[in-house]
Chain A
Amino acid sequence: GQQVMQIPQYQHVQEGEDFTTYCNSSTTLSNIQWYKQRPGGHPVFLIQLVKSGEVKKQKRLTFQFGEAKKNSSLHITATQTTDVGTYFCAGDSSASKIIFGSGTRLSIRP
């Protein structure tokens, strides 16, 4: 069945440093979504990427969708303490199930 893998599992950075999480799907995706979950909270939708090679930016966050539509990345420039949380990618293969990766937990030293 479809699998979505995410690395790294944890990342601990100094405030102001950059952060990147990578997502790989075992199958070609029709789109990929990114979510953020704060400790004790629920996942919150950040963005959806649909086109091969697509790059989207939201302030300090940059999202990329691979050319083969099987991988994606999220890069945060100059992290802030408000960026703390777990970042999930979620792959939609048009099989009517959106599969979440295992997440990357970001913690930040002030």
Chain B
Amino acid sequence: DAGVTQSPTHLIKTRGQHVTLRCSPISGHKSVSWYQQVLGQGPQFIFQYYEKEERGRGNFPDRFSARQFPNYSSELNVNALLLGDSALYLCASSLTGHDGYTFGSGTRLTVV
């Protein structure tokens, strides 16, 4: 079985640009969550989706948005990129959103 897949693996963007990150969950998993991880810190919760509906949102500005598709894959969009958005973006899938997460390898975003 394929694990959680994220694309792209690395990305370099310029301040002010927009970025879309993609995630495919494990087959059968209906919940996808997004986290931002800055070096040396724990993952910071951004969004949780379950059955295509947003179920939870963290303390991130409205520049961050996401959606989940009928096949349970998900996109994270970030508008008007700032230097401080540089981080590892992790996608995690689970059956219900309240059981153990399986993380993807992440997308390393660098904003210059």
Which residues of A does B touch, CB under 8 Å? 1, 6, 30-31, 33, 35, 41-45, 47-48, 88, 90, 92, 94-103
Contacts and interface: CB of A to CB of B under 8 A. Distances in A.
Interface residues of B, number: 26
Given A33-B100, A97-B48, A103-B42, 9 more contacts: A30-B98, A31-B98, A42-B103, A95-B56, A96-B56, A96-B97, A98-B33, A100-B44, A103-B41
27 contacts: A1-B59, A6-B42, A30-B98, A31-B98, A42-B90, A42-B103, A42-B104, A43-B90, A43-B92, A43-B101, A43-B103, A44-B103, A45-B102, A94-B98, A95-B56, A96-B97, A97-B45, A97-B48, A98-B33, A98-B48, A98-B97, A98-B98, A100-B44, A100-B45, A101-B42, A103-B41, A103-B42
A94 B102 CA distance: 18
B35 interface: yes
Contacts of A33: 100-101
- Identify the 9 closest CB pairs spanning chains A and B, nearest first: A96-B56, A45-B100, A100-B42, A97-B56, A96-B55, A42-B103, A102-B42, A100-B43, A97-B45
